Structure 1
Amino acid sequence: MTSNVGSIDRVLRAALGLVLLYLAFVSGLEQFAAPLLKYGAAIVGVVMLSTAAMKTCPLYSVFGIKTCKVD
Structure 2
Amino acid sequence: MFEKNMGKTDRMIRAVLGVVLLILAFASLSGGWAWIAGIVGIVMLATAAMGSCPPYSLLGINTGKND
The two structures have a TM-score, normalised by structure 2, of: 0.91
Question: Which amino acid is 1:43 matched to?
Answer: I
Q: What are the within-5 Å matches in structure 2 for residues 1-71 of structure 1?
A: 1-26=2-27, 28=28, 32-33=29-30, 35-69=31-65
- Paired residues in the alignment total 65
The runs of 5 or more residues in structure 2 that have no matched partner are: none
Percent of aligned pairs with the same residue? 51
Whole-angstrom CA distance in 1 between matches of 2:17 and 2:40: 9
| Structure 1: runs of 5+ lacking an equivalent | none
Cα deviations by residue, 1:11-31 (Å, 9 ceiling, x for unpaired): 0000000000000102x3xxx
Larger Rg: 1
CA deviations 1:23-42 (Å, max 9, x no partner) are 0102x3xxx12x21000000
Q: Could you tell me the TM-score, scaled by structure 1's length?
A: 0.86
Report the RMSD for the aligned CA atoms in angstroms. Answer: 1.1
